[in-house]
A = this chain, B = another copy of it.
């Protein structure tokens, strides 16, 4: 098959690689209908994460089940499925507790920007739609495989509840999804920290009531003003840098929780502030499978439209351009078609 691969920082190719095959009886092979590029794919692209030259990249896709292993019973060939980026058996103690991203049989999609992808623990991981979805739902269904569920996890981890003032740090696709999640979970006021007009627009469409364009100390002061000096009831940290985390803790009110979902890079947690202000930290790699049934329902009933985060669609063969566009912030999130 052909798939997107990474050879070195900035070196993305779309090329012939071996077809994925059933390796375990619990596996399934998916024919990809749509894949996409994740903000976290930019870490290796920018040389911040180690790279195994020539390996496939991309952990987000949806598609049709092509083949299943001998132990797969719930998933049928021909099913249209949402593939959570982290696979799980959905039966172990961690899955039963809603922490599927810590499943004892956890796996990650490896070629979501290719023509086919292998899913381990197919029965536990995959959620099928009722027949083939409408074309216009494709972007939103694709968003469920990671960013929407991850933004949702940030809001859940931050403990967003009805009437809250929630602040979202980060205006990438995850941050925007976090805005949508906070609004859905009942936040009365959702403050999006964003400097970019097109992203501000999506934030507003997703339910942001206020936009703060300032960053760092200036941004923190603005949030304090907007909350009468009290701070936010819930903060969603959707970046993963030390600066974003510092801002998150600076604007969280005493007793609140920073929900974090950005893969931490160089973050030093301000433990003494956490102690003196009783600001907690919760979150991590999103247990996507846990949220999928609910989120799928919200998409199909039209309650949410997370596919709005895709502002560029390219053929998979042009995935390299997709990476460039996201790296240069010309695109929020890129959808790739095989």
Contacts and interface: CB of A to CB of B under 8 A. Distances in A.
Interface stretch (A132-140, A196-204, A264-272): A264-272
Interface in A251-294: 253-255, 257, 260, 263-264, 267, 269, 271-272, 274-285, 287
A99 interface: yes
B280 A275 contact: no
A228 B104 CA distance: 13
Interface in A76-110: 93-94, 97-99, 101-102
A260 B272 CA distance: 12
A278 B287 CA distance: 9
The 4 closest A-B pairs by CB, nearest first: A280-B282, A102-B254, A278-B284, A99-B255
Contact of A278 (B102, B263, B276, B279): B102
Nearest to A270: B269
Nearest to A271: B264
B230 A93 contact: yes
The bracket for how many chain A residues form the interface is: 20 to 34
Contact of A274 (B99, B255, B279, B284): B284
B269 A269 contact: yes
Interface in A164-180: none
Contacts of A264: 271-272, 275
Interface of A: 93-94, 97-99, 101-102, 157, 228, 230, 253-255, 257, 260, 263-264, 267, 269, 271-272, 274-285, 287
A276 B257 CA distance: 18
B97 A253 contact: yes
Instruction: State the oligomeric state as a number of copies.
Output: 2
Interface of A is mostly: mixed
Given A269-B271, A271-B267, A271-B269, A278 B93 contact: no
Given A94-B230, A271-B264, A102 B285 contact: no
B282 A282 contact: yes
A201 B269 CA distance: 37
B269 A275 contact: no
A254 B286 CA distance: 11
A108 to B, nearest CB: 12
A282 to B, nearest CB: 3
A107 to B, nearest CB: 14
A282 B278 CA distance: 7
A284 B252 CA distance: 14
A271 to B, nearest CB: 5
B284 A276 contact: yes
A272 B283 CA distance: 11
Contacts of A283: 275, 278, 280
A259 to B, nearest CB: 9
A263 B275 contact: yes
B157 A254 contact: no
B275 A99 contact: no
Contacts of A284: 274-279
28 contacts: A93-B228, A93-B230, A94-B253, A94-B254, A97-B254, A98-B255, A99-B253, A99-B255, A99-B278, A101-B254, A101-B278, A102-B276, A102-B277, A157-B280, A257-B280, A260-B275, A264-B271, A269-B269, A274-B281, A274-B284, A275-B283, A277-B284, A278-B283, A278-B284, A280-B281, A280-B282, A280-B283, A282-B282
